[in-house]
Structure 1
Amino acid sequence: MTAISAARAHLAQGPAQDDVFLSDVLEGLSRPDKSLPCKYFYDAEGSALFDAICTLDEYYPTRTETALLQARADEIAGLAGRGATLVELGSGSSVKVRILLDALDAPAMYVPVDISRDHLIAAAARLAGDYPAVTVVPVAADYVRGFALPRGAAPERTMAFFPGSTIGNFRPAEAMTFLDTLGRRLGAGARLLIGVDLRKDPAVLEAAYDDARGVTAAFNMNLLARINRELDGTFDLDRFAHMARYDTARGRIEMHLRSLDDQTAHVAGHPIRFARGETIHTENSYKYSVSGFRRLAARAGWRTERSWTDENRLFSLHWMVRHG
């Protein structure tokens, strides 16, 4: 905390997460089709593994979105205007946002919002040291459940940044609800820069979520390891396997953990039974067309003013304004 304070940053506390982790896990694993919320991937170990995923040859989204941000940074800065407050949802290591901070005209405040508190504080401290003119206000919160913006964040100067195509983790109806709620929270006139992955060859998608080195498999498996560490779980990780598949009809990648045997694991003393081949559904990642996503955002109260794609149409960025 000392490093952040010295750099004139402040820690804002979002809603407590520990009290809901156990109930979310037990609820998800009690369903006939077992599932776990993907937000729980991101403890310190999971966040580090995701950072490693972003460097993989197969994982095109990070390098493609980064190149798009670099190519369009000056245009984005012009749209944002002087003295912007930049709010990043799911900030992680706060790497891509540096491209924007370098381009923006005298940004006043950076508000990284992330569920992984320790990872958030470390990343915020590094960024605050590198950008001493920017007030850094890290918010430890689940941005889906809600968070409070710091004082001084006027809607017309606020720019939300939601990179990485994390919007794809929501089902389309949930994505629309989330975007509407976000717009109401930020206020009329707020701006949103959002990354959206595009539909493409299923082989390219499946390789991105099941890499040859097994880093994504370790990331998926860490969810069970986290339950073991934090919720007195008894999962035997050697008796589960990572699985990623593309559902063409729904336009989404699904990640699962597949049980290799008939077995019983415990979570905080509660038995969870698995049949051989049964899976835990851990993540969806929906893919969109540019026009399809623009229509969804419009129904959620956002007007798209700019859309950009790379030359291979792998990924897209959208600049949107809240109109209500």
Structure 2
Amino acid sequence: MYRFINLVSQDAPDSLASDISTGLSSPEKYIHHKYMYNAAGSELFERITQDPNYYPTHAETEILTRFSPEIAAQLADNTAIVELGSGSSVKTRHLLTAMVQHQGKTLFCPIDISGDFLQENVKRLSADYPDLDILGVIADYYVGLAALADEIRQPKLLLWLGSDIGHADPATAAMLLRDKMLPALRPGDKLLIGIDLKKAAEPIHRAYGCPGDNDPLRYEFNCNALRHINQKLDGNFVTDNFQRYCFYNETAGRLEIYLKSKVDQQVTLNTLDQTFVFKADELIRIHFAHKYDQNDILQLTQAAGLTLQHQWFDAKHWFSLNLLSVGAA
């Protein structure tokens, strides 16, 4: 059984226009990474995760394959699973299987901004898991999570997989956990968060296709943000006028991805009635992926007001799953 809540109309149009105007007007231009993820972008990213070099997905899958029964055993009876950025739920299926085996009937609430992609995935999951009740939420993460705060009265496990937490710097990540997620949770609820770990630059560069000028798939994925903006804001970005550039910043502990303007150019977004000037070699920041060590994880959980209950790692210790507990208010 499944149903959907569509909240995109409440938050997407205005925030898209405002976000893009602010980002492209900044002295150091940027586009929020979430605008790569319409239906086409989600499909491109799924293809990236199948690349053998893309270790975050493979390491996290390894952990969930080995430890999902152990994770399920640490949760309260009748726990509902809420997942941020569900995607195709390939990895999540390991935990869903363990939860159904552990407690029987289970409520699963995937939240994703890409409505078409989410609806197709939910229908597949419903066919494969007759003991799942699925409530698909088409929304930005925090809008969807807030909507579920009163919808779900039973204990919750909030999944934030794929090292999505790394999109924000650690201080901002702690703020998001504390101010955006905790208000939607109750004492005793849990969070299971995938966090990519600091390591040598070489496997990170392989995973993300750096330096970026010879990786057609990742180029198409990053440029999908430009195509998405063209579609939504009546723009005239020409993707051929940009090239992809990325590197691991070891000092900052983060992977940085940019689109670099190949030429002097102007881009007009008619919906905004704005024109943006790009100089040759000027960068648009598309994505940061922050990496953590153990001390960083402990500082993050402390700053967010959470308790680190348990951790699981892949065999290479390149990636971690972290079970966090919500204490009394």
TM-score (norm 2): 0.92
Matched, 1:305 2:309: yes
Name 1:67's counterpart in structure 2: 62
Correspondent of 1:275 among 275, 279, 282: 279
Matched, 1:208 2:203: no
Correspondent of 1:10 among 3, 14, 22: 3
- In 2, Cα distance between the equivalents of 1:144 and 1:60? 27
- In 1, Cα distance between the equivalents of 2:70 and 2:118? 28
Matched, 1:314 2:318: yes
Correspondent of 2:78 among 78, 83, 95: 83
CA contact (8 A) 1:112 1:137 kept: yes
3-state DSSP of counterpart to 1:148 = helix
Matched, 1:31 2:30: no
CA contact (8 A) 1:141 1:147 kept: no
3-state DSSP of counterpart to 2:142 = coil
Cα distance, 1:150 vs. partner?
Answer: 6.5
- In 1, Cα distance between the equivalents of 2:279 and 2:254? 25
Could you list the per-position Cα deviations for residues 127-171 of structure 1 after superposition, in whole angstroms to 9, with x for gaps in the alignment? 11211222100111111355311756236x211111100000011
Pairwise CA RMSD of aligned residues? 1.6
Assess, with a 3 A threshold, how the Cα gap between structure 1 residues 305 and 178 changes in structure 2: closer, same or farther: same
Name 2:52's counterpart in structure 1: 57
Cα distance, 1:214 vs. partner?
Answer: 2.5
- Matched to 1:13, the amino acid is N
Structure 1: tracts of 5 or more residues without a match: 1-7
Name 1:163's counterpart in structure 2: 161
Could you list the per-position Cα deviations for residues 215-262 of structure 1 after superposition, in whole angstroms to 9, with x for gaps in the alignment? 111110111111122211111111100111111111101110000011
Name 1:239's counterpart in structure 2: 241
- In 1, Cα distance between the equivalents of 2:251 and 2:167? 16
- Matched to 2:32, the amino acid is P
- In 1, Cα distance between the equivalents of 2:234 and 2:164? 29
CA contact (8 A) 1:87 1:110 kept: yes
What is the aligned residue count?
A: 316
Stretch of structure 1 that moved more, 118-127 or 271-280: 118-127
Stretch of structure 1 that moved more, 20-29 or 192-201: 20-29
Cα distance, 1:40 vs. partner?
Answer: 0.9
TM-score (norm 1): 0.93
Segments ≥4 residues shifted beyond 4 Å:
none
- Matched to 2:245, the amino acid is M
3-state DSSP of counterpart to 2:147 = coil
Name 2:112's counterpart in structure 1: 114
3-state DSSP of counterpart to 2:187 = coil
3-state DSSP of counterpart to 1:137 = strand
3-state DSSP of counterpart to 1:112 = strand
- In 2, Cα distance between the equivalents of 1:25 and 1:318? 33
Name 2:292's counterpart in structure 1: 288
CA contact (8 A) 1:84 1:107 kept: no
Correspondent of 2:129 among 128, 131, 150: 131
Matched, 1:102 2:97: yes
Could you list the per-position Cα deviations for residues 42-87 of structure 1 after superposition, in whole angstroms to 9, with x for gaps in the alignment? 1011000000000012211101100101111111010124321000
- In 2, Cα distance between the equivalents of 1:168 and 1:107? 32
3-state DSSP of counterpart to 1:311 = coil
- In 1, Cα distance between the equivalents of 2:5 and 2:47? 28
Cα distance, 1:323 vs. partner?
Answer: 0.9
Cα distance, 1:9 vs. partner?
Answer: 1.1
CA contact (8 A) 2:243 2:261 kept: yes
Name 1:3's counterpart in structure 2: none
Cα distance, 1:18 vs. partner?
Answer: 2.2
Structure 2: tracts of 5 or more residues without a match: none
- In 1, Cα distance between the equivalents of 2:2 and 2:234? 35
- Matched to 1:97, the amino acid is T
- Matched to 1:162, the amino acid is W
Stretch of structure 1 that moved more, 126-135 or 253-262: 126-135
